[in-house]
Structure 1
Amino acid sequence: MHKLLEKIEKLAVEAGKATLEVYESDDFDVQHKGDDSPLTRADLAAHKIIMAGLTELTPDIPVLSEESADIDYSVRSTWDKYWLVDPLDGTKEFIKRNGEFTINIALIDAGKAILSAVYVPVTDVGYSAAEGIGAFKTEQGGKKAIQVKRPASEVPVVVGSRSHLSPDVQTYLNKLGEHSLVSMGSSLKFCLVAEGAADLYPRLGLTSEWDTAAAQCIVEQAGGAVVGMDGQPLLYNTKDSLLNPYFMVYGDNSKDWLNPS
Structure 2
Amino acid sequence: MTAEKGFRSKGVSAESEDLARLFATIAVAAGALAMETFAKPDIEARLKGDKSPVTEADERVEAYLLRELEVALPGVPFLAEESVARGKTLDVNDVFLLIDPIDGTREFLARSSDFTINVALAEKGAPRAGAVYAPAQGRVWFAGALGYEAEAGPGGSLPPAQDWRPLRVRPRPADGLVALISKSHLDAETKSFLSSHQIMRSAPIGSSVKFCLLARGEADVYPRFGPTMEWDTAAGDAVLRAAGGATLDPHGAPLRYGKKDVDYRNGPFVAWADASRRDGNATLP
Please say which of residues 144-153 and 105-114 is displaced more in the overlay. 144-153
Contact 2:180–2:219 under 8 Å retained in 1: yes
Question: Is 1:127 paired with 2:148?
Answer: no
What do residues 171-212 of structure 1 show as CA deviations (whole Å, max 9, x unaligned)? 111111442011100001111111110000011111111100
What SS does the aligned partner of 1:254 have? helix
Structure 2 counterpart of 1:250: 272
Q: 1:28 to 1:230 in 2, by over 3 A?
A: same
Give the whole-Å Cα distance in 2 for the aligned partners of 1:149 and 1:89. 25
Contact 1:135–1:221 under 8 Å retained in 2: yes
Structure 1 counterpart of 2:193: 172
What SS does the aligned partner of 1:128 have? strand
Structure 2 counterpart of 1:16: 31
Structure 2 counterpart of 1:48: 63
What SS does the aligned partner of 2:112 have? coil
Please say which of residues 140-149 and 173-182 is displaced more in the overlay. 140-149
Structure 2 counterpart of 1:91: 105
Structure 1 counterpart of 2:115: 101
Question: Is 1:65 paired with 2:80?
Answer: yes
Structure 1 counterpart of 2:175: 154
Please say which of residues 121-130 and 140-149 is displaced more in the overlay. 140-149
Question: Is 1:115 paired with 2:136?
Answer: no
CA RMSD of aligned residues (A): 1.7
Structure 2: where are the runs of 5+ without partners? Answer: 1-14, 153-158
Quick one: which of 144, 164, 168 aligns to 1:143? 164
Indicate the percent of aligned positions where both proteins have the same amino acid: 34
Contact 1:129–1:221 under 8 Å retained in 2: yes
Contact 1:106–1:116 under 8 Å retained in 2: yes
Instruction: For 2:133, give the aligned amino acid.
Output: Y
Please say which of residues 136-145 and 235-244 is displaced more in the overlay. 136-145
Q: 1:178 to 1:128 in 2, by over 3 A?
A: closer
Instruction: Give the structure-1-normalised TM-score.
Output: 0.93
Instruction: Give the superposition deviation at 1:121.
Output: 0.3
Question: Is 1:30 paired with 2:52?
Answer: no
Give the whole-Å Cα distance in 2 for the aligned partners of 1:186 and 1:221. 19
Instruction: Give the structure-2-normalised TM-score.
Output: 0.86
Give the whole-Å Cα distance in 1 for the aligned partners of 2:233 and 2:180. 15
Contact 2:91–2:260 under 8 Å retained in 1: no
Q: 1:210 to 1:153 in 2, by over 3 A?
A: farther
